[in-house]
Structure formats: structure tokens, C-alpha cells
């Protein structure tokens, strides 16, 4: 039986299976995006799928804290759009 990696939500600090979390990535070029595969290169921040955690992650500068740099509001909106599309698919 294969062990499933555990990751922690950056908002509620609860542990989940890696595949049950949304992964937001900052790659070497500085681009920030939603990673549906969970395998993209770069620093990842995980957030659980609860609406409260996703909203807080996107509204309270947690993106900036997670990646330790300034994040433009249009980037936040792109990530928000990507996450909402993924949620509708489930």
C-alpha cells in the first residue's frame, strides 16, 4: 500500500492528504499560479478546499506571506478564477 503524503493548510493548519488540497505555486521566474497536478516546480502553498480558508487565503495577503514577496492584485484574481473553476469541477 502506497503512503499518501500529508500537507498542512496554511490557513486552518489542519493536515490533509496532499491530493485533497489546492496547491498554489511560485516558480523560479516569479510567476504565481494554481497547480492542479501538484507537481509543478517551485515553492508551493497548500490551502484546504473550504470556502472560508480559500477566501481568507486570497483576501488577507496570505499569498504574500506564503511566498515572502509582494503579489499584484491581478495575480490574486487569476488564482481566484483558477480555484473557482477547479471547485466547480468537483
Burial of 74 (0-12, 13-18, 19+ CB in 10 A): exposed
At 34-86, the pLDDT tens digits run 999 999 999 999 999 999 999 999 988 899 999 999 989 999 999 999 998 88
Contact 40, 25 (CB under 8 A): yes
Whether 13 has a pLDDT exceeding 80, the answer reads yes
Question: What pLDDT, on a 0 to 100 scale, did the predictor assign at position 90?
Answer: 62
Whether 88 has a pLDDT exceeding 80, the answer reads no
User: Which domains occur in the chain, in start order?
Assistant: 4-87 (3.30.1230.10)
Question: What pLDDT, on a 0 to 100 scale, did the predictor assign at position 89?
Answer: 72
Amino acid at each position: 500500500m502506497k503512503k499518501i503524503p500529508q500537507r498542512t493548510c496554511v490557513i486552518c493548519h489542519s493536515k490533509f492528504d496532499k491530493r485533497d488540497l489546492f496547491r498554489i505555486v511560485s516558480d523560479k521566474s516569479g510567476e504565481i499560479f494554481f497547480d492542479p497536478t501538484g507537481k509543478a516546480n517551485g515553492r508551493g502553498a497548500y490551502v484546504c478546499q473550504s470556502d472560508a480558508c480559500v477566501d481568507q487565503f486570497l483576501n488577507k495577503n496570505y499569498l504574500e506571506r506564503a511566498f515572502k514577496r509582494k503579489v499584484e492584485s491581478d495575480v490574486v484574481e487569476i488564482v481566484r478564477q483558477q480555484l473557482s473553476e477547479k471547485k466547480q469541477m468537483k
